[in-house]
């Protein structure tokens, strides 16, 4: 934006990076904060199909707040995604892989499913502690998926 000013939005539109034969599309789930998981999942499915069919309207890809980019679906691990301006953050999701970890309960080394997440964010708008708290909350939800159904 040429005005170089920060504009605070009062909505949360979540872009879902979608790789297709026609290139990368990032359709948005508009007002995702006011929707439940099933409605969001349905919209992701519909938008993904529209992207594959090259039938996404331009309004579907405008006005994003944050993007989720999943290279795990094509075998990628940890990566550092770059924020799509004028969005304020992007969440990178890697593949789930078996890895060793130290169990905090008994100190034993065990093998478990690990998911690498990387959150890039604009520090002019988001403090590091807030971003880490968001990642901690995502971790909590991933460890107890039933909580996802109680959200929204």
| 68: Cβ contacts below 8 Å, ≥ 6 apart | 14, 15, 16, 17, 90, 91, 93
Rg of the Cα atoms in the chain: 17
* Residues in a beta bridge with 113: 98
Cα separation values, 71 from 19, 56, 88, 89, 109, Å: 10, 21, 20, 16, 28
> Which position has the token pair 């004028």?
86
> Which position has the token pair 């691990």?
77
Catalytic machinery residues: 123
Q: Following CA atoms 31, 2, 90, 64 in sequence, which dihedral angle do they give, to the nearest 10 degrees?
A: 20
């Amino acid at each position: 934006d040429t005005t170089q000013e920060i504009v605070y939005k009062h909505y949360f539109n979540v872009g879902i990076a979608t790789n297709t034969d026609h290139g990368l599309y990032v359709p948005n789930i508009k007002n995702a904060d006011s929707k439940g998981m099933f409605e969001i999942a349905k919209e992701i499915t519909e938008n993904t199909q529209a992207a594959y069919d090259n039938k996404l309207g331009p309004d579907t890809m405008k006005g994003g707040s944050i993007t989720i980019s999943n290279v795990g679906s094509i075998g990628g691990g940890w990566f550092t995604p770059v924020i799509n301006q004028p969005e304020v953050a992007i969440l990178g999701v890697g593949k789930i892989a078996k890895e060793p970890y130290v169990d905090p309960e008994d100190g034993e080394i065990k093998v478990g499913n690990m998911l690498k997440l990387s959150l890039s964010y604009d520090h002019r708008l988001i403090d590091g502690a807030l971003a880490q708290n968001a990642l901690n909350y995502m971790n909590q939800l991933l460890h107890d998926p039933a909580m996802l159904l109680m959200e929204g």
